[in-house]
Amino acid sequence: MGRKARTNLDEQKAEPYDVRRLHPAKKQSAVMSMFDSLEPGQAISVVLDFDPARMKRRFEAFFAGDFTWICLELGPREWLVEIGRKETAR
């Protein structure tokens, strides 16, 4: 009980990328671009100031089956989301 989910970021200890400082029109594109540069098995975390549901639908459309999505903090003021590229099958 009360066990925290283990994520890829637990191992990487990466600082979350804060997109709140970006222009609203560039936030989703920036996150998608960062994801696109990930190697299989890698993950990024992002701090958002908007509900990520729409962005998750874009990921499903563009990267279906190739990503993981874990919402670590739920808004309403900010969200922390871990997005990872799935490992490829051997």
Whichever domain contains 75, its CATH number is: 3.30.110.40
| CA-based nearest residue to 17, from 47, 59, 50 | 47
pLDDT tens, position by position, 26-56: 999 999 999 999 999 999 999 999 999 999 9
Q: Where are the alpha helices (DSSP H) in 1-90?
A: 8-12, 27-36, 53-62
pTM given for the model: 0.80
Say if residue 10's pLDDT is above 50. no
Name every residue whose Cβ is closer than 8 Å to that of residue 5 and which is 6 or more positions away in sequence.
Answer: 70
User: Is residue 61 classed as helix, strand or coil in its secondary structure?
Assistant: helix
Range of the domain at 31: 8-85
Assess if residue 3 is contained within a domain. no
Helix axes 53-62, 27-36, angle to 10 degrees: 40
| CA-based nearest residue to 59, from 87, 43, 36, 26 | 36
Assess if residue 2 is contained within a domain. no
Mean pLDDT, the chain, as a whole number? 87
- Looking at residue 4, its pLDDT comes to 41
Number of domains in the chain: 1
Say if residue 6's pLDDT is above 50. no
- Looking at residue 84, its pLDDT comes to 97
